Amino acid sequence: MKNLLLKENADTTRPYEKCLLYGAESLTDAQLLAVIIRTGTKELSCLELAEKVLTLKTGREELLGLMSLTIPELMTIRGIGQVKAIQLKCVGELSKRLSTRRAANGLTFSDPGTIADYYMERLRHEEKENLFCLMLDTKFKLIGEERISTGTVNFAVVSVRDLFLAAMRHRAVQIILVHNHPSGDPQPSEADINITRRVQSAGEMMEIRLLDHIIVGDRCYVSFHESGLLSPGEEDGLS
């Protein structure tokens, strides 16, 4: 009877009670953050602080905005000190790692879709372009990964020389390029196409084959291999 009355009279804005009665999945984004924040101030409840965190980046409530907030930015909110800011950043990083681990379970280096899924989770919160080179042996086994460059919001500075130096350090016989478009649109630019052709051409001379260039966006991707964007004349190395 006591439990029934508790359930009937529970204040659904109180995240602890709501979680206990209905499960964590019933909580809103703000309520989940409020559980982490734990305490409020004289002026604001922990729930109101959580709502301020979610709207700090864009002015509207967005959970993904938490991933790009820095500790100093979080601490501009009155009531969010260094400890709470660190806790919030760690929760965001934990969430990212869980998603990445899940994507890694299905990762197959002969399947562009699984590669894209994995790197989408790793790169979806990056605000600049990052270019990775995946080094593979003859059996599509990953023997090395290196971040070749980090660019501005819309351009990654690529050194073909550095890329192949990395491939040779790992004794790779084939490589896959992966980079992100922070805009969320994975369609390749003219610069993307040109650098891919340069890498492919250099790889042919060095007998290190470029198997694919995968551009990841917001839950979507473009594979040069799947789209037929690699220069003709290469043997089909992917299934």
- The answer to whether the CB of 110 falls within 8 A of the CB of 131 is no
Which of 69, 100, 131 is the endpoint of a domain? 100
Do the beta carbons of residue 30 and residue 51 sit within 8 Å? yes
Q: What is the pLDDT of residues 129-162, one digit of tens each?
A: 999 999 999 988 888 999 998 887 666 678 899 8
Burial track 42-69 (b if 16+ CB lie within 10 A, e otherwise): eeebbbebbbbbbebeeeeeeeebbbeb
What is the chain's alpha carbon radius of gyration, rounded to the nearest angstrom? 23
Q: Please tell me the predicted confidence (pLDDT) of residue 154.
A: 67
Q: What is the pLDDT of residue 5?
A: 39
The residue among 224 and 16 whose pLDDT is bigger is 224
Domain count, the chain: 2
Look up the domain containing 51 and give its range.
2-100
State whether residue 133 is helix, strand or coil.
strand
Together in a domain, 218 and 120: yes
- Is the model's pLDDT at 178 over the cut of 70? yes
The model's pTM is: 0.65
Instruction: Identify the band that residue 168 occupies on the pLDDT scale cut at 50, 70 and 90.
Output: very high
What band does 100 get if pLDDT is binned at 50, 70 and 90? low
Of 100, 135, 165, the domain-final residue = 100
**Residue 8 token pair:** 């009937």
Is the pLDDT score of 67 beyond 70?
yes
pLDDT at 8 over 80: no
Residue 74 and residue 169 in one domain: no
**Over residues 107-133, mean pLDDT:** 87
pLDDT at position 218: 87
